Structure 1
Amino acid sequence: MIRSLRIQPLLVVLRPDLDDLDSDFAITRLFCQLDQLVEAGVQHVEIAWIEHPRWCDLVMAARSRHPRLSLGAASITQQSALQQVAELGFSYAMSPLLHAELQQRADQLGFLLVPGVMTPSEIRQACDLGCRLVKLFPASVLGRQFYRQIAAPMGNLPFMIAAGGLRACDLCHWLAAGYDAIALGRTVFEKDGFDPSLAAWIDA
């Protein structure tokens, strides 16, 4: 995962709504957005986990539609969700929080779960649990200088993904500030139109 993100340090998170889950998947808003991301060259996409009977069918359809995409799951906060995404064969999953038992279970499953962290103590705890990647969340609250402020006193930092409240226009600035990758969410699509600045960044 780290090797892949070094090539393209970007993840995009898609959140299904009830219309996405209750309709023919091929014509849903989420699949339209997924198609646009793949066409633009985005390599890493997360689909947020939702406790819904058709969520598994949705993600399996997404994998079948775009088999070469590095597809992950977002918003994993409980053991049942972790078990489900691991069984579905996801490449990875992300959590908005750091939970020791959840990380230990992911380790037992041999599955990559990236925890959400917000403080130096949580970053150190994640490292102690064996995490090589962490997600700084919510990054927009902490600001892009946070990385440089903690880098010197903490020494070696894990691979750090900045997530939460960021836009495509932030990519260059946050990567230049030291972050290893950036995760974007709903701001990628404005009124269902793909952000042209993201397409320009990918092309560059």
Structure 2
Amino acid sequence: MNLSMDWVLQQARPVMPVLVIEDVALAADLARALYAGGIRVMEVTLRTPHALEALAEIHRELPEVILGAGTLIHTEQFQEARDAGAHFAVSPGCTPRLVAAAEDARMPYLPGVMTPSEVLLALEYGYRSLKLFPANGSGAVKMLKSLKGPFTGIRFCPTGGITQENLLNFLSLPNVACVGGTWIAPPSLIRARAWDQITQLAREARELAGSLEHTA
């Protein structure tokens, strides 16, 4: 796929699940449950020993899903993620070496930022779709409102603190493209193979966002 990060975030709206997968055998069923709930873009975070295997399994079983590899903090992880089937890469921060690794792997890249200086750094490298991390409650909402003025044209995907309760607070902001979070598919539900519950959580998130769109 020849994708841009801006297009990926448009497809992900309202929610891009951040998946923490400990058991590769559950990866495909988890992805199917989310897909049944209307999710087309998913991020598999590389926080577990078998995350790359899980990503590859989802890619094999559900090639229609747009897959991201998240929590990339080492340069070699970009090519590893691409080889496993990832279509885009996500990091909690932004450094020159990570930017170079994303370019070398020819992967759309969503770098993480939290301050105006970090946004400026990402802009210098040509990135206009950014991850706001961590997005902790009302403070992150205020930060996004403050960033809108000086940084026109920048679109954010806040993660790290998003819940069903505060989802609309973020999605109502004009510079938020989508949000990311683990609450749609928490590890406890994955371990319990509670696929119907995960599908329902995905549907509820989409319905909540739909109510916002209708009142806009």
TM-score by length of 2: 0.79
Q: Could you say what secondary structure the match of 2:82 adopts? A: helix
Aligned residue runs from structure 1 range 192-203, under 5 A: 192=189, 193-194=197-198, 196=200, 198-203=202-207
User: What's the offset of the Cα at 1:92?
Assistant: 0.3
**Structure 2 partner of 1:143:** 140
1:6 aligns with 2:17: no
The aligned runs of 1:62-141 (5 Å cut-off) are: 62-140=58-136
Contact 1:169–1:198 at 8 Å: present in 2 too?
no
Which segment drifts farther, 37-46 or 54-63? 54-63
- State the structure with bigger RCO (CA 8 A, min sep 6), 1 or 2: 2
Deviations 1:86-112 (A, max 9, x none): 233421010011111110221233211
Residues 37-94 of structure 1: per-residue CA shift (max 9 Å, x gap): 0111101101112574x54432221111111001110110001211211233421010
Q: State the match for 2:192 in structure 1.
A: none
SS of the equivalent of 1:87 reads helix
2:157 to 161, 167, 171: 161
Q: CA RMSD in A?
A: 2.2
d(CA) in 1 for partners of 2:166 and 2:63? 29
Structure 1 residue matching 2:166: 3-state secondary structure: helix
Q: Which amino acid aligns with 1:14?
A: L
Percent identical:
20
Measure, in 1, the Cα distance between the counterparts of 2:48 and 2:165.
32
Please identify, of 167-176 and 115-124, the stretch whose mean Cα deviation from structure 2 is larger: 167-176
- 1:176 equivalent to 2:177? Answer no
C-alpha separation in 2, matches of 1:80 and 1:7? 27
Equivalent residue, structure 2, for 1:35:
32
CA distance in 2, matches of 1:57, 1:197: 25
State the distance in 2 between where 1:48 and 1:75 align. 5
Please state how far the C-alpha of 1:114 moved relative to its aligned partner.
1.2
Contact kept in structure 1, 2:45 and 2:51, CA below 8 Å: no
- Residues 50-65 of structure 1 mapped to structure 2, 5 A cutoff: 50=47, 52=49, 54-65=50-61
How far off is 1:195 after superposition?
7.4
- Counterpart CA distance in 2 for 1:33 and 1:108 is 31
Aligned residue for 1:46? 43
Q: Which amino acid aligns with 1:11?
A: M
Q: Which AA in structure 2 matches 1:116?
A: G
**Aligned residue pair count:** 193
